Structure formats: C-alpha cells, structure tokens
Structure 1
Amino acid sequence: MTARTGMPMPDGIMTVYFITCHHSVAFVRDQFRFLYHPDHFYLYHVDAKAPEALHETVRRLARAFPNVEFLPSRHYAWAGYSQVRTTLDAIAWALTFASSWSHFVTLSEQHCPLRAPAEMAAELSSETSYLAAMPFAAMDPGGQADLVHRSSMDFRELPGVGSFGIDAIPPDPGFLARLHHGSNWYILSRQACVYLCEIVPSTPDVARFRQSVHADEDMIPTLLVQADGQAGLLDLRETTFVAWPHIIGNDSMTFRENDFFAASQDGSLFIRKRPPILPDPVAATLEQFAAFTEADLTAAIGEAPAAAPPIPDREGTSLARRVAGAVVRRGVGVRADLLNLRYRRRDPLFSLVFQTDGMPRDVEVRVLSQNLSDFRVLLLSTAPPAIDFVPLQVHGRMAHMLRVRSDDLFGYREILVPEDPAHGFWTRASDSNVIGLVRRIEFYIGVAESLVTGKAPRVARGTFAIAAREVAAFWRSARWTGRRLLRQRSRA
C-alpha cells in the first residue's frame, strides 16, 4: 500500500494523536485514513466495554502500521476521572516511548479533520498549547452553577458507569477562583505535557479534581493557566468545533454540511460529532485529505470485522437473576425488574430495580455494574428528570442530580443514604459470594420504606442482631420457595 502523503511535514514537527474509541468501527477506519501521515504517531485507547470488533480493528492498525500503538483498555466513564487518568497515561506513554514530537492532540472517534494533516501541523507553533480556558468569574450564572455542582460533592466513580456523589463538600472560594473551564479536546505542546507529568502528583487542586465530575474539561486548563510560563505558551482558543444544540438547532449533536464548511472557514482544525453518513460534499473533501483509500486500508488490515448482535452477557444475566432471586426470596413483597435483560442492555451491563408496596411510588432501589465486580446500590427518585444543580429535599432527605450518561439515569436525583458507611458501593470477592450485595440491597429497601413510615431504618448491630436477621431472612426464603413449589405442583 502506498500512502498519498500530500504536503511534506514541516521540519521538526510531529504530532501525537491520542484517540479515544468506544463504538464505531467505520468511524475509526475513516478517521485513520483522513488523519494518517507517516511522520505522525497514533495512540489509541478503546473503552473496555466497546464492541470486540472495535478492539480488533485497533489491534489490526497497530500490527500493520509502525506508528500506531494502543493503551491497555480500561472502563472509561463519561464525566469520570477515568478520562483524565487515561489521558495522563497516554501523555506519559508518548513522552517515554514515542520519538521526538512537538504536540499532543486529544480526539475521539467522532472527530473529523478540517484540514490535511500536514496543513494542520504547519499551523501549530512550537512550545504553544491550544485550549479553551474560561475563568470561573467570567462565566454566566448558569455556567457557574454547573461548575459549583461539579465540585459540590465527593464523587466516586463506578467503573464503566459513571460517578456518584457520596457526601456534600462545602464550596471552596479559593478553588473556584482558580478554576478555568475548557473542554477535553485540546492540543498540548511537549513542554506542557512534561510539566503536567511533573506537577500532577503533588498539586493540591488535583485531589479536589479527583473528587469531582467532568474533571476532563477543567483540570488540565486550570493547571496550565496557573503554570506561570513553565508549561510554555498558551493560545486560549478552541480548536474543535462542537455541534452543540444551540448552534445546530436540534439535540442530535451531529454536525451538518454547512457546519463543516463554516467551521473550516472560522479556523477550527476539527469538528465533532460526525453523522453516521457523511454528506457527499463533506465526504469528498475528507477523501482529499486521505492518505489512502478504503480499499487500500482493507488491503492492509482486512475487511471491517462483522459486528456481533447485541445479546445479553451470559455472566451478567446469570448474576442478575441470582441477585434478584435472593433479594425477592428473603424479602416480603419485593419485586425485581431485570432491566439489562428486558431491554437487552449492555451499558450498563448489570441493571436491577427493586420496589415494594411499602415504598413511595416515585422511588426505587437501583443496582448497577459494568464490570460485574464493582456494584453501586442507590435510592433513585423517579420524578421527571430536570437539569437543576440545586440539591432538593425528596421525602425529607437530601437528593442531588445525577451526572451519569445513561438514558434512565441522566438528570434524575439520587436520595442520599448517610446511614450506609459504604455509600452504596460494594465489590464482589474472588469467591463470587453475593450475600453482601443482597444485604445492602435489603437495607436500601428498608430505607425506601422508611420514607413512608417516617421511622428510622433498622440497622442490625452486634453479632446476635446480625445472626437473628440472617435466620429470619432464611425462613422467609424457605417459605417463599415452599409456596412456589406448591403452586407449581397444583398447576401440574
């Protein structure tokens, strides 16, 4: 395969493209053709929960091209600190293993370039980083409320799902005064990357960012603005055009033909998110940038792997039924809904809902997991979702808006359960025993029912109380099983 490299690269310029992928094989293949140049380096991270066809596509690229590498996959969560951690890992990898380079560019599979690779490289000044960074004080009241909420709680990440607030944190005026809001799409100079690797382990603000949501949009801009020149020069402008709803007039978040050409005229270097089918004029323009054709890429790495049908994960299915069955048997009038089975859902992979007649109708107990090892139990208010960052009282308890990107979670409110020292988090032991998770679910059902009775939920303390609780649960389970067997016999 002979690449059509187009313009020669400027002397001393080489770019590391760090590309995060989670869904589309077609997007990754197209983008690689549009961006490829032998003097650039391409570093990929594929979300652990991405389709196997996508993992295989990136593995093939790395085998076929010496300037392609991929990081070990981890569960990557929207708004989670895992995004920052993965980017910092990529920077460290590039500084350690890639040859001399001048700039580090963060992209997703949904980015399209607006210029040819060599033309973009020619626009980048040595030792200059390009990123948006708006001071907190300069933001409008709505934007400030958003940023305050991001650091208003101690957020803990559930791998592959998202971050959940476990306790309120008082506002820190000093931290907010230093805060700069940008995005996770930026171009960093090598000097800025070296600076970040040196200061991240010891900078006090980083600890606060680890507890926040959307640190991917705020941490690196904040740290670089405070660098006092040690990170090189900063050009505070956005280089990626994003098809926000207020720009394109709809909620699709995908760019249109006129957005592509307008962004190119305005000096942007990239645009996102791309539509599944590119408009013909856009596709023709991007093919002019391409180093090789789709047929050439197929000759190098093979046809796109066939996408597997979205079927429920067997292990997750078995585990969900096991947990749901145990909770139903041990309770009184407990109903379980296995959402990941009913909707053939894989994101999150494990999703259970529990309700009883003793709970408020607008409340449910939800259990989530993506890796089938780490779980989160939460008390969820099912009132219609709304983007409102102010904490509210729901049934007499504090509830805050969830920032988890899942259709049935985003914008809803979680009712805090301070009585639980684990804050709803539970990790499965190597012996696969789930009784600890079952007990935590039972406790949250008790808390939900206490919202109606007004009585404090019962907490078993001491060896005798815990043993008594387990004996009572055992007999409830035995009676439930016996009644079920009798019903089956009578029907036979």
Structure 2
Amino acid sequence: MTAYFITCHQSPAFVRDQFRFLYHRDHVYLYHVDAKAPEALHDTVRRLAQAFPNVEVLPTRHYAWASYSQVATTLDAIAWALKSAPAWSHFVALSEQHCPLHDPITVAAAFQPSVSYVGTTPFSAMDAGGQVDIAHRFSMDYRELPGVGSFGIAALARDPDFLSRLHHGSNWYVLSRAACAYLHDIMPGLPDMARFRRCVHADEDMLQTLLAHTDGRAGTITCRETTFVAWPHVIGNDSMIFREGDFFAAREEGWLFIRKRPAVLPERVTAALEAFAAMTETGLTDVAGACPEAVPTTLDADGIALARRVARAVVRRGRGVRADLLNLRYGRRDPLVSLTFQTDRIPDDVEVRVVSQNLMDFRVLLLSMAPPAIDFSTRHLHGRLAPLLRVRSDDFFCRREILVPEDPAHGFWTLPSDGSISGLVRRIERYIAVAETFGGRSDLLADPGVFSMAFREATARWRSAHWMLRRFLRRTTA
C-alpha cells in the first residue's frame, strides 16, 4: 500500500483529474488544502473524502512558499499516516500539479521495501552558485507571516560546521515507512530544529539533511528523484509547465511523476492518462458530484474594510501621507491586505508596505522599489541592511527589504482581541518616519512648535484629501 500526500492550493479540476489517474482502492490519499485556497477547492476535497473511505483531509493551515509551514504540514501528514492509516509501505509527496507517468500498480511496484527515494546533494558537492544560494537561506533569522511568507529580522553569522552537514534536494520525494517513523521519533529532540524553523526553503533542506545522517536507522536512502520537473533550462521558458514531448520522454527515462501540468492537457497525454484512470470524469461525478464551475475572483470584504480602516487612520494622523490599497487597484486576494504609504519626503525608490493574509497577523516593511533580481549578495540601501526577499508575491518577489532593527517587533504585529488597530497605526507611522530620513532631511523629525505642528497637520490633511479626490476622479472617468 502507498500513502499519497497531496498539497492543494488552486484548481478543483487538477485535483479531480489527478485523483482519477492515481486512485486505487488499496492506497490511501491524504490531502492538505491551503487555507487561502478557493472554497470550491476545499469543497472538492471534502467531497472526495465523503465518497471514498481511503481519502482523508488534514486540518487546513496557511501554507506559504519557502516557509516552514510546508515542512510542518508534511510532518503532520506523516504523523497521521503512521497513526491512522493501514499498513502502508511508502509515503509519496505530491502537489495538485503533478501527473503520474504510469498506472498506480506500476508506480507502487517501483518502490523497493524499506527504501526511500530522495534526490539530494551535499553542500560540499554543490557548485559555487549553489552554495551561495543555500548559505543565504540560513543567513537571516526568518519569521513566517501566515499565508504570505517568511521575512528576515536579523542577520546571522555564517556557520561553516552546520553548512557542511547540509544536504539539498527536491521536496518531491518518496519515503519508506521506516524513514517516516525515524523522522517522527527524532523531531522532538532535534538540536537543529530551531535553525530549520527560522530559515527559508526548509522543505528542500531539512528532511533531506536528516535522512542523509541516519546511519541506517531509517532504512535505505537512495539518491534518486522520482518527479520530472520542467525546469526553464529544459523547456526554454520560465513557465515550468511541461510539454507533450516532456511527458513521453520522462516516461521512457523511468521517471514516475511529472510537473507542472498545463491547464489543458495535450491530446496524446490525455489519452495516455485516461487509459489507466480508475474512473472517468463522469464516473467521479456520479459519486462525488460535479466539478465546480470557475467563479470569478471577488475581493474579500473583511480584508478591504480593515485595510481602509488602517489607511484612513494613518492618513488622518500623518503629515501629507498618501495610502494606496493595492487589493482594490489590482483585484487581488493574495495577500488579503496589501497597503502602501508614501509621503513627499520618502525617496521614490522606497515605500512603506503593510501585508496580511489572515487579517490577524501583519507585517510592516520598508520595500526597495529597485527592479527585482536574484542576487544573494549582502546589500545596504540608504545605509541599512537590505536582504533579498524570498516571498512569492507579484509585488515584491526578489526585491529587497530595508531592515528597521530599532523596531522591537521587527515589523510584525498581531491584532488584539478588542480589534484595536492603534498599535499597527503607530508602527506604520514609525516606519514612515524612518523612510523619511532616507531623503536626507532628518530635521523634519524634530519636535515642532505648537503652531508649526497645527499648520503642518492642516496642510497634510489638505494634501491627503486632494490626493484621494484625484484618485476617485480618475477611477470614475476611466
């Protein structure tokens, strides 16, 4: 028996197709659906669990790219499988974007007893560029903002001994039951647990490193990848979506799975997959209901209301502060709150940004507006440390965050039980004040006289009102 652990975040159609292609009554299927996924996806997976006794759904959590939540969810799945699933032999980690290259019986037959298949490379064997990448992942003390990603709060000294023990590899692996039991047992007393929790991309380094140093206590660990990934250098573009030729070439070369799948599978690929599907789409509909129709994305009312409340408070109290609610401008739900603040005194290459996905935990940051670039070198902007951000967001992926070390909370803020936003407003004002010093006019932060303050406040409110009126008129005439 094989235990499939499948993470989902977006497409009910992908999940249903994959389930039909992977399903066998002797296997178990364990799903985790990202908390921020569309409700239609949550409903799709619930229906599968209701219709099939060998399907289970993990409690949902906010799942963030490159963050420790990915490892935590995998460990939850391993714990559930060890405790509650029948006697399975292998644990297979997949996402909704995987397609099998063979039927479930053939795939299961490829797994040898007590053998795990984990593609890994020791740090010492990596090229110079790879070592710089891995070292950067442990160069900061990272904290996770639920549903958004991890932000570095302070630089850490390089630890050559720790790096020498690291192994890096794919997070799409096949683990034997012995390996899962070993990982489950050692986690509570793991000395390096805190270090892995506070890095980025632990999903590509943590379990891989632990399994490389088992001394046989986790069965046999074979260095082999089982998922073919359509990397840019393979397909000639950055989409990472496999093509028809990739599917059949990977199958001939002995791979077991392939990702990422296109929205519409090529005709020949569809025919190959349907040939070993456990059921047709119509058959699945008969027992689990129809695939939900695509619903246009709607803005989150609670998130917009909270963001507007914060924006009004900051603008009202500030001196010429302008707020821009990016969720409204671009119609986005990820993150639910995305606010920027600017003043005439803040340089054009910097903005104050506030983000949140769960409407409880927020991050205020100074974001560099320089064009994004993958560059792991240490940089300083405006005289402050500015590490590269590893957060998967269209707005600031591979940009740099200018750190504000004098903020004791390091930009993180949690909504109190009474719903007061005054603490967040004060933190935003603090970051605006810091950003204004970058313009070289630190005298503006000096304590003004009563009449001077009154004049500045009146001028600021007029500027803010005028700026908001211009935006309103542009929208209404667009």
Q: TM-score, normalised by structure 2?
A: 0.94
Measure the CA separation in 1 of the matches of 2:173 and 2:303. 37
Measure the CA separation in 1 of the matches of 2:15 and 2:465. 52
1:187 aligns with 2:174: yes
Query: How big is each residue's C-alpha offset from its partner over 1:148-202, in whole Å with a ceiling of 9 and x where there is no partner?
Result: 0000000000000000000001011111000000111000000000000111121
Measure the CA separation in 2 of the matches of 1:479 and 1:355. 12
State which of 82, 88, 99 in structure 2 corresponds to 1:101: 88
Q: Is the 8 A contact 2:318 2:460 kept in 1?
A: no
Alignment correspondent of 1:388: 375
Query: How big is each residue's C-alpha offset from its partner over 1:217-264, in whole Å with a ceiling of 9 and x where there is no partner?
Result: 110010001111001001101100000001111111100011111111
* Corresponding residue SS for 1:366: strand
Q: Residue 374 and residue 171 in structure 1: after superposition, are their counterparts in 2 closer, same or farther (change >3 A)? A: same
* Corresponding residue SS for 2:363: strand
Query: How big is each residue's C-alpha offset from its partner over 1:257-282, in whole Å with a ceiling of 9 and x where there is no partner?
Result: 11111111111100000000111111
Give the counterpart letter for 1:293 in structure 2.
T
Give the counterpart letter for 2:221 in structure 1.
L
Gapped runs of 5+ residues in structure 1? 1-13, 461-467
1:414 aligns with 2:395: no
Q: Is the 8 A contact 2:368 2:399 kept in 1?
A: yes
Q: Is the 8 A contact 2:320 2:463 kept in 1?
A: no
State which of 254, 258, 266 in structure 1 corresponds to 2:245: 258
Measure the CA separation in 2 of the matches of 1:442 and 1:477. 17
Query: How big is each residue's C-alpha offset from its partner over 1:101-146, in whole Å with a ceiling of 9 and x where there is no partner?
Result: 1000000000000111001111101110001110001111111110
* Corresponding residue SS for 2:439: helix
Q: How big is the shift at 1:306?
A: 2.7
Query: How big is each residue's C-alpha offset from its partner over 1:378-413, in whole Å with a ceiling of 9 and x where there is no partner?
Result: 000001111000121111111011000111111100
* Corresponding residue SS for 2:192: helix
Q: Residue 323 and residue 118 in structure 1: after superposition, are their counterparts in 2 closer, same or farther (change >3 A)? A: same
Measure the CA separation in 2 of the matches of 1:40 and 1:456. 69
Q: Residue 87 and residue 484 in structure 1: after superposition, are their counterparts in 2 closer, same or farther (change >3 A)? A: closer
1:133 aligns with 2:120: yes
1:403 aligns with 2:383: no
* Corresponding residue SS for 2:152: strand
Measure the CA separation in 2 of the matches of 1:480 and 1:378. 24
Q: Is the 8 A contact 1:446 1:457 kept in 2?
A: no
Measure the CA separation in 2 of the matches of 1:432 and 1:274. 42
Q: How big is the shift at 1:340?
A: 0.7
Alignment correspondent of 1:452: 439
The 5-angstrom pairing of residues 36-47 of structure 1 reads: 36-47=23-34
Q: How big is the shift at 1:57?
A: 0.2
Measure the CA separation in 2 of the matches of 1:457 and 1:244. 50
Measure the CA separation in 2 of the matches of 1:171 and 1:454. 36
* Corresponding residue SS for 1:18: strand
Q: Is the 8 A contact 1:447 1:456 kept in 2?
A: no
**After the TM superposition, which parts of structure 1 deviate over 2 Å for at least 4 consecutive aligned residues?**
453-460, 475-485
Q: How big is the shift at 1:375?
A: 0.2
Alignment correspondent of 2:229: 242
Alignment correspondent of 2:475: none
Give the counterpart letter for 1:333 in structure 2.
G
Superposed CA RMSD: 2.3
Measure the CA separation in 2 of the matches of 1:258 and 1:44. 29
1:72 aligns with 2:59: yes
Give the counterpart letter for 2:32 in structure 1.
H
Alignment correspondent of 2:13: 26
State which of 449, 461, 465 in structure 2 corresponds to 1:480: 461
Alignment correspondent of 2:362: 375
Q: Residue 429 and residue 76 in structure 1: after superposition, are their counterparts in 2 closer, same or farther (change >3 A)? A: same
* Corresponding residue SS for 1:298: helix
The 5-angstrom pairing of residues 137-152 of structure 1 reads: 137-152=124-139
Alignment correspondent of 1:8: none
Measure the CA separation in 1 of the matches of 2:218 and 2:53. 30
Q: Residue 34 and residue 459 in structure 1: after superposition, are their counterparts in 2 closer, same or farther (change >3 A)? A: farther
The 5-angstrom pairing of residues 44-443 of structure 1 reads: 44-443=31-430
Q: TM-score, normalised by structure 1?
A: 0.91
Measure the CA separation in 1 of the matches of 2:321 and 2:261. 45
Give the counterpart letter for 1:443 in structure 2.
R
Measure the CA separation in 2 of the matches of 1:361 and 1:171. 33
Gapped runs of 5+ residues in structure 2? 470-478
Measure the CA separation in 2 of the matches of 1:292 and 1:373. 42
Measure the CA separation in 1 of the matches of 2:176 and 2:332. 41
Q: Is the 8 A contact 1:380 1:412 kept in 2?
A: yes
Q: Residue 142 and residue 483 in structure 1: after superposition, are their counterparts in 2 closer, same or farther (change >3 A)? A: closer
* Corresponding residue SS for 1:95: helix
Measure the CA separation in 2 of the matches of 1:268 and 1:68. 25
Q: How big is the shift at 1:480?
A: 3.4
Q: Is the 8 A contact 1:331 1:477 kept in 2?
A: no
Q: How big is the shift at 1:478?
A: 12
Q: Is the 8 A contact 1:133 1:221 kept in 2?
A: yes
Q: Is the 8 A contact 1:447 1:457 kept in 2?
A: no
* Corresponding residue SS for 1:104: strand
Q: Is the 8 A contact 2:321 2:460 kept in 1?
A: no
* Total equivalences in the alignment: 466
Measure the CA separation in 2 of the matches of 1:477 and 1:421. 31
Alignment correspondent of 2:473: none
Measure the CA separation in 1 of the matches of 2:304 and 2:151. 24
Q: Is the 8 A contact 1:34 1:116 kept in 2?
A: yes
Measure the CA separation in 2 of the matches of 1:103 and 1:456. 65
